[in-house]
Amino acid sequence: MQDQEIIDLYFERNERAILETDKRYGAACMRISLNILNSRADAEECVNDTYLGVWNRIPPERPQNLGAFVCRIARNLSIKRFRYLHRQRRNRDLEVAIDELAAIAAPPEDSAAELAREISKFLETQDPMDRMLFMGRYFHLCSVKELAEKSGMTENNVSVRLYRVREKLRAYLNERGYRT
Would you call 76 helix, strand, or coil by DSSP? helix
Which of 38, 57, 85 terminates a domain? The answer is: 85
pLDDT of residue 17 exceeding 90, the answer is yes
Provide the domain count of the chain: 2
pLDDT of residue 110: 45
**Pair 62, 14 in one domain:** yes
Q: Which amino acid is at 9?
A: L
Question: 97 is in which domain, residue-wise?
Answer: 92-175
Which of 85, 111, 143 terminates a domain? The answer is: 85
pLDDT of residue 120: 87
pLDDT of residue 129 exceeding 60, the answer is yes
**Pair 109, 130 in one domain:** yes
Cβ contacts of 70-75, under 8 Å, gap ≥ 24: 70/21, 70/25, 70/28, 70/29, 71/25, 71/28, 71/29, 71/32, 71/139, 74/28, 74/29, 74/32, 74/33, 74/46, 74/47, 74/50, 75/32, 75/36, 75/139, 75/140, 75/141
Stretch (H or E) spanning 62: none
DSSP label of 126: S
The string of pLDDT tens digits covering residues 87-117 is 655 455 666 666 677 667 655 554 667 777 8
Query: What's the whole-model pTM score?
Result: 0.60
The answer to whether residue 180 is domain-embedded is no
What's the first-to-final CA gap in the chain, in angstroms?
42
